[in-house]
Amino acid sequence: MGKQLEKRRKEINLRQEDLAEMSGITVRTIYNIEEGKGNPSLKTLSKLCGILGLEMTIKIKQIN
């Protein structure tokens, strides 16, 4: 997921700093998400996807 966000950010020529300013999310958090570190909230992911023009889909798997 983080690599998809990074790919899209680069496609639209945004730096991490630009995305941070637009979203109100720190550069460190964006870096961590793109590197697959941490556990971002759905609110954070939704905000980033909205800015980047991505659709967020959530899959729920039942455990038996």
Q: What percent of the chain has pLDDT over 90?
A: 81
pLDDT, position 23:
97
Decide yes or no: CATH 1.10.260.40 for domain 2-52: yes
Q: What is the pLDDT of residue 38?
A: 82
Tell me the pLDDT tens digit for each residue of 10-38: 999 999 999 999 999 999 999 999 999 98
* pTM given for the model: 0.85
DSSP one-letter string for 13-62: T--HHHHHHHHT--HHHHHHHHTT-S---HHHHHHHHHHHT---------
Domain chopping of the chain, boundaries? 2-52
Mean pLDDT of the chain: 94
- Whether residue 63 is predicted with pLDDT greater than 90 in this model: the reply is no
